[in-house]
Copies of this chain bind each other. A is one copy, B any other.
Amino acid sequence: MSEAVAADELRLLIERWERLDEEKKGIADDQKDVLSEAKARGFCTKTIRKIIARRKLESHVLQEDDALLATYAAALGMQLNFDL
């Protein structure tokens, strides 16, 4: 019987995962709509994507508070000014 219980557990987990996947897909569609709308209003979607990528970059990669990084960068003569 524990087999059957495990099977049910497994099924529920997988179905939960798949439901979440559906939601994600819906949101991705919404994002497409946003870009379509932008395009319809005369904006260049490719450039918008670049802008978004840069803004993401800023918050994730470039805003690091890493003293050692600064040290190494200095050793290499790299400038680390990211005033995005």
Please tell me if the beta carbons of A82 and B66 are within 8 angstroms of each other in the complex: yes
Compute how far the CA of A44 lies from the CA of B69 in the bound complex, rounded to whole angstroms.
9
Given contacts A78-B84, A83-B54, contact A72 B18 (CB under 8 A): no
Within A57-76, the residues touching B (CB, 8 Å) are: 57, 59, 61-66, 68-70, 72-73, 75-76
Query: By DSSP majority rule, is chain A's interface helix, strand, loop, or mixed?
Result: helix
Q: What is the interface of chain A, defined by CB distance below 8 A to chain B?
A: 3, 6-7, 9-11, 13-14, 16-18, 20-21, 23-24, 27-28, 30-31, 34-35, 37-38, 41, 43-44, 46-48, 50-55, 57, 59, 61-66, 68-70, 72-73, 75-76, 78-84
